[in-house]
Structure 1
Amino acid sequence: MFGFRFVKFQPSDYVLKVKNGKVVREGVGLSFHYYAPTTSVVVVPVSSIDVPFMFEEITNDYQTVTVQGQLTYRIVDYRKTTQILNYTYNLRKNTYLSDDPGKLAQRVINIAKVLTKKQLEQLPLREAIKSSERLAKTITQETGRNEEIEKLGIELMGLSILAIVPNKETLRALEAQAREEILRSADNALYERRNASIEQERRVKENELNTEIAVETKKKQIRETQLDAERSVKQKQNAMMEEQLSFDTALEEKKQELIGLTVANQRAEADAKAYELSAVMNSLQGVAPGVLQALTNVGMKPDKLIAIAFQELAENAGKIGQLNISPDLLQGLMGGSAGNGGNAARGGGGR
């Protein structure tokens, strides 16, 4: 009535009440009465704004890629923003008087596009496709230092690059190359597995051969040890035999020396006896035979004397006519008793 009205804004709106070209009131979520002919209202969103984007760029190797992503920003300096862009609000129609609020998002996208272009121009296609995370981080850092962002009074809260995609023909070529690479890798893996199997088998055989060699070496060592032991035993036996032979040789030499001494002694004894007998014979050369016989019979046993007597009787048998021997005498002679000759032998002379 009469141009006086009441308006109430949401807590997500920062409101500047302008009257006669001057800001008379400002704040978040205001509600007030105003006089329509002389009052203007500027409404700036307080909450963050999500803006999706998609644009094409060219890589270092002149390949076209499509960059898809989303950025989030919010207005932090409302006075700066409203000085550059028209955020005047039509209270009767509940809409902005100009399309400047929609241009802010495009300006932010253009800034991000320029920074993205700068980065992609330095990367080849294959590297650019895989650089989404790194590219988003770099653009976010550079946006924070961007003068145009500061002049707009906004703050970039986040930027995400969802995909960097080449055109269809290039994508098919990359897929074919990747497929060939995968197949090649599979072939290489199969080849490596076969080589590994062959290598493993070779190692097993080598280990078996090494084991056999070790066993044969051990057998050889055992045999050599046995031969050394046998050689040692033989050497000891030979040494013992040599010692025994030396002992036997020395013993035989001693025996020979003993025999020589015995023979020499016997020869000396025989020579002495021969000399003694020769001396006796020389001394008896002039003695009568009867005297010699008598000397011989001295000290002789009776039985030997009787035997000699019978021998003389036999020698003089031609001179004896008759000889009588009594049984008692014969028994006494045979008994070895020379003192039992009670009966005298009687002999008659030749008649």
Structure 2
Amino acid sequence: MFGVRYIKAQPTTYLMKYRGGAIVAEGPGLSTLYYAPATMLVAVPIGSRDASFIFEQTARDFQTLTVQGQVTHRISDPTKAASMLDFTLKADGKTYESDDPEKLPERILGTVEVLAQQAVKELTLRDALQASDRIADIIAGGLRQRADIASLGLEILGVSVRGIKPTPDTAKALEAQAREAILKTADEAIFARRNFAVEQERAIRESELDTEIAVEQKKRSIRETQMDAEASVAAKRNELREAGMAADIVLEGKRKDFVGLNAENTRTLADAEAYRVGALMKIFEGVDTRVIQALAAAGMQPGQLIAQAFSGIAEKAEKIGQLNVSPDLLSQLMEKPQPMEAANARRQ
């Protein structure tokens, strides 16, 4: 009515009321009446806002990649912002006179793109894919140090890089390479497991061989002990044999002495018998043989006498025409002499 209007700003809007080229009222969430023909309102948004970005950059190894993220910012100095950009409201108090408020994120994103390019060009593709936090820190630090950002009265609350992606072909190549690396790692794990199993089997086999060696050494020790015992027994046996041989030698020596003594005695007896026989022969020299035979027949048994008679008959057999022998005579010759008679005969 008559150009007088009422405006009530939000707490996240810094409202400045100009009249005659000077600020007559200002503040966040300001409510005031104003005369539209003579008053100019400047509304600067001071709440935090997000500006999303997605850029294509080139890494140090000339590989193209896409950096995607967002910048969170707010206008901390509305006066500076109002002096650099046009935040003047139209007469209706709802819309802006210019498009400067919409261009503010573009200015920020332009600076972000430059900083992102500087960060990515120092990295290879592989390093860049794993350096999202590093790139975000570089962009945030660069924004806080830029004079053009400070001149706009902006405060950078944070920068986040949500993704860094290579081109589809490069991604397939990297996936294939990563897949091969994973398969290689799996093969190495299988090889390591098999190698571990082989090592375990080798350790078990070595343990078994050590056990067998210990058993064989024990057997050898037992065998050596047995051989030592056998050698000791053999030595004792040899000692016994030597002692027996020594005793046999002594016995044979004594036997030799005995045989020599016996032979000497036999020679002495033979000499005595020869002397006796010689003496008898000297006695019977010149004596008729029949006398000697008669003397020899003295004390003979009847059978012996009959046998001697037959011997004489045999000597004169050519002169005998016929000889009759009675059975009684033959039976008497066949009879064995009595023990006493045999003993007497042996003595004779």
Normalization by structure 2: what TM-score? 0.63
21 and 226 in structure 1: CA distance in 2 versus 1, 3 angstrom threshold = farther
Shift of 1:40: 0.8
Task: Please list the CA deviations of residues 183-219 of structure 1 after superposition, one character each: whole Å capped at 9, or x if unmatched.
Answer: 2322332233222222221221112112222333344
2:89 alignment partner, SS class: strand
Aligned to 1:104: 104
Report 1:133-212 matches (<5 A): 133-212=133-212
141 and 217 in structure 1: CA distance in 2 versus 1, 3 angstrom threshold = farther
Unaligned runs of 5+ in 2: 244-348
Shift of 1:147: 2.0
Aligned to 1:294: none
How far apart in 2 are the matches of 1:210 and 1:56? Answer: 68
95 and 221 in structure 1: CA distance in 2 versus 1, 3 angstrom threshold = farther
**Could you tell me which amino acid in structure 2 is paired with residue 196 of structure 1?**
F
Task: Extract structure 1 runs of 4+ deviating beyond 6 A.
Answer: 225-228, 231-234
How far apart in 1 are the matches of 2:207 and 2:50? Answer: 69
139 and 220 in structure 1: CA distance in 2 versus 1, 3 angstrom threshold = farther
Shift of 1:26: 0.8
Aligned residues: 243
Stretch deviating more after TM superposition (24-33 or 177-186): 177-186
**Could you tell me which amino acid in structure 2 is paired with residue 156 of structure 1?**
I
CA contact (8 A) 2:16 2:42 kept: yes
Counting aligned pairs with the same residue, the percent is 46
Shift of 1:69: 0.6
Unaligned runs of 5+ in 1: 246-351
Task: Please list the CA deviations of residues 122-142 of structure 1 after superposition, one character each: whole Å capped at 9, or x if unmatched.
Answer: 111111111112211232223
1:90 alignment partner, SS class: coil
231 and 84 in structure 1: CA distance in 2 versus 1, 3 angstrom threshold = farther
Shift of 1:37: 1.2
For the aligned residue pairs, the C-alpha RMSD in angstroms reads: 2.8
1:44 alignment partner, SS class: strand
How far apart in 1 are the matches of 2:22 and 2:226? Answer: 121
Aligned to 1:61: 61
**Could you tell me which amino acid in structure 2 is paired with residue 133 of structure 1?**
D
How far apart in 1 are the matches of 2:50 and 2:142? Answer: 19
Aligned to 1:131: 131
CA contact (8 A) 2:144 2:155 kept: yes
197 and 4 in structure 1: CA distance in 2 versus 1, 3 angstrom threshold = same
Shift of 1:171: 1.3
Aligned to 2:43: 43
How far apart in 2 are the matches of 1:124 and 1:146? Answer: 26
1:89 alignment partner, SS class: coil
How far apart in 2 are the matches of 1:147 and 1:31? Answer: 33
Normalization by structure 1: what TM-score? 0.62
**Could you tell me which amino acid in structure 2 is paired with residue 155 of structure 1?**
E
How far apart in 2 are the matches of 1:20 and 1:227? Answer: 132
